[in-house]
Amino acid sequence: MNSSIMKHDIHVHTTLSSCCSDEHAIPSRMIKRASEQGLEVIGFADHLWDNEAYEPSGWYAPQNYQHLCAIREQIPEDTHGVNVLVGCETEYCGHGRVGISKAVAEKLDFVLIPFSHFHMKGFVVEQEEADSLTAVANLLVERFQEVLDLDMATGVAHPFFTLGYTEHDTILGSISDGAFEDCFGRAAERGVSIEIHPGFFPRYLGWEQEDYHEEPFLRMLTIAKDSGCKFHLGSDAHILEGIGSTNWLIECVKPLGITQQDMLQF
């Protein structure tokens, strides 16, 4: 089997996501750019909260399944040879609260569930839950396991990349190899894919600073690979020009020996 990684990106946001302000980030233009960048698969993963069991935040409330479905009418007949998937990025807020029901999940091509949007204070995380960097690390491990228990995730969005904090070296350094092995071993058993995300590589983004480097993320990905996990590439693009950035992620993970055999199959 060819070991080269198929060029793909299944974490892309369009104007249907409230956090996307680029008027050019619409399916027709993003698909065309994906083709120009050599991508074989693109997955639209707009934000979604559509679970009547739990109350959404004011930000999430308008982004329901009906809203997300508008994307299907925006996909052109000519996809320039690109395989187009329609999924979502929902939200996990701990204590069993997730923004998608199994009924809705079954209607989508894939479901990405993040567990580290800690910048959403009072909704995703309470201040007292993350009152120290050690507490943040422990909560990440706990929530990763809880996401697996939901039995709804195709993949985990930007795992252990914690929004709301810049001290990624300290946070990841507080998680033992054994804790990572337990997390990723269970993910492998359940077939839940691990996202390879640009935020893992601050040197390439110009984000590198004190307490934020790529080495802790490389350690994490190495343990995930050794645990038998499958991976997918996700740019988390919110602008048209972000399409194609997953191509350099392939180069970043080559030293880890991650190949197409380690990738989620589409």
Ordered domains of the chain (ranges, CATH)? 8-262 (3.20.20.140)
B/e letters for 158-186, b = 16+ CB within 10 Å, e = fewer, are bbbbbeebebbbbbbebbeeebbeebbbb
pLDDT in tens, 141-178: 999 999 999 999 999 999 999 999 999 999 999 999 99
pLDDT of 1 reads 41
pLDDT of 3 reads 66
Q: For residues 179 and 265, give the distance between their C-alpha atoms in angstroms, rounded to a whole number.
A: 27
Q: What's the whole-number mean pLDDT along residues 128-137?
A: 95
> What token pair was written down for 146?
């809880």
> Do the Cβ atoms of 151 and 169 come closer than 8 Å?
no
- Give the DSSP H/E element, type plus range, for residue 51: none
Q: What's the whole-number mean pLDDT along residues 111-126?
A: 96
Q: Which residue's structure tokens are 């693109």? A: 42
* pLDDT at residue 33 tops 50: yes
Partnered with residue 249 across adjacent β-strands are none
Q: Which residue's structure tokens are 């993963």? A: 45
* pLDDT at residue 2 tops 70: no
Partnered with residue 266 across adjacent β-strands are none
pTM above the 0.95 mark? yes
Task: Please report which confidence band the pLDDT of residue 203 belongs to, taking 50, 70 and 90 as the band edges.
Answer: very high
How many Cβ atoms sit within 10 Å of the Cβ of residue 125?
Answer: 22
Q: For residues 115 and 1, give the distance between their C-alpha atoms in angstroms, rounded to a whole number.
A: 34
Mean pLDDT of the chain: 96
pLDDT of 105 reads 97
* pLDDT at residue 26 tops 80: yes
